[in-house]
């Protein structure tokens, strides 16, 4: 079991997907994302296994939640700078991403 202090160390922010591209080099179907977190954090990159649960068109300009304070992770030839949050799709088709219900959330807002 973790403590509240442990959880508070995880920096979860909302970002806007500004670019989505295929990631054919990935072992499992995935996209490469470019995400805008606003002026404090800037633009970061992430890969995500969301193929099947989301189309590239639906992801573009969407607000999604990310962990921004993990170390970068090398995924084949691509370096993810943030961790995209999602739930395993019950149909086994990629991850269903965590998205704020309202679009009135400021870029870079921290989950609290």
Q: How does pLDDT run across 10-59, given as a tens digit for each residue?
A: 999 999 999 999 999 999 999 999 999 999 999 999 999 999 999 999 99
Residues sharing a CB contact under 8 Å with residue 92, sequence separation 6 or more, in sequence order: 52
Domain count within the chain: 1
**CATH label of the domain that carries residue 79:** 2.40.50.140
- The helix or strand, by DSSP H or E, that contains position 6, with its residue range, turns out to be helix 4-8
- The helix or strand, by DSSP H or E, that contains position 97, with its residue range, turns out to be strand 95-97
Residue-level pLDDT at 92: 78
Q: Whole-prediction pTM value?
A: 0.93
In this structure, the number of other CB atoms found within 10 A of the CB of residue 94 comes to 20
**Picking from 24-28, 62-66, 78-82, 92-96, which range would have the lowest pLDDT averaged per residue?**
92-96
Q: What is the span of the domain harbouring residue 48?
A: 4-97
Q: Has residue 112 been placed in a domain?
A: no
């Amino acid at each position: 079991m973790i403590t509240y202090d442990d959880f508070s160390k995880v920096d979860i922010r909302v970002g806007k997907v500004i670019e989505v591209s295929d990631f054919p080099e990935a072992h499992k179907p995935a996209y490469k994302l470019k995400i805008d977190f606003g002026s404090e954090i800037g633009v970061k990159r992430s890969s995500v296994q969301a193929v099947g649960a989301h189309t590239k068109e639906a992801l573009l300009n969407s607000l999604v939640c990310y962990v921004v304070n993990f170390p970068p992770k090398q995924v084949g030839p691509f370096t993810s700078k943030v961790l995209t949050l999602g739930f395993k799709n019950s149909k086994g088709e990629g991850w269903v991403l965590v998205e704020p219900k309202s679009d009135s959330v400021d870029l870079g807002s921290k989950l609290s």
